[in-house]
Chains A and B, each alone.
Chain A
Amino acid sequence: ETGVTQSPTHLIKTRGQQVTLRCSSQSGHNTVSWYQQALGQGPQFIFQYYREEENGRGNFPPRFSGLQFPNYSSELNVNALELDDSALYLCASSLAMERPPGTGELFFGEGSRLTVL
């Protein structure tokens, strides 16, 4: 049990719709990262938030957006869903003592599995 919770655990959407995934970070953690894991692939970094500011972004289009709240929980929003967005979305929190963060262990949630039809 990492203390990182994600919701929903599973959801099904259709192409063109929008989705919001939520993540509650472990108590005391100030950094949240989001990852996409498609079938047969390693996790792909989407973006990271450190103290409510975006701190880095992977190669994902602008329709992937996020927020980090004052309590350090986070949301991942995906607009105009495409079939290829079907994947497991993982959230990980960590405690960073520096900017940019890099060496803190990541504590992962169990993920939200998105299916786009």
Chain B
Amino acid sequence: DTGVSQDPRHKITKRGQNVTFRCDPISEHNRLYWYRQTLGQGPEFLTYFQNEAQLEKSRLLSDRFSAERPKGSFSTLEIQRTEQGDSAMYLCASSQGLGAFFGQGTRLTVV
């Protein structure tokens, strides 16, 4: 499968715990995006990498959130001290030009 891959698909965590999600983009794509989606809404932009450089961060990305793309390939999104409001679908997308291709997402539930 050469599409965007996200792991895990589902995560249930207790409030206050840290979680980390992984995204493997399409191999030749140099741009990688993280989005968050809640029920009834479209995806909301969180952050964007070109190769290993994090070029843009949304105001939605509080200081509890951190994203990395250390070698310009896979990326991780960590949420520290999770809150119930962090419950959402976290989507990763990659791109080589215009437009973007999404992974299947990681569904986070904070209890």
Q: Do A and B bind each other?
A: no
Residues of A near any B CB (own CB < 8 A): none
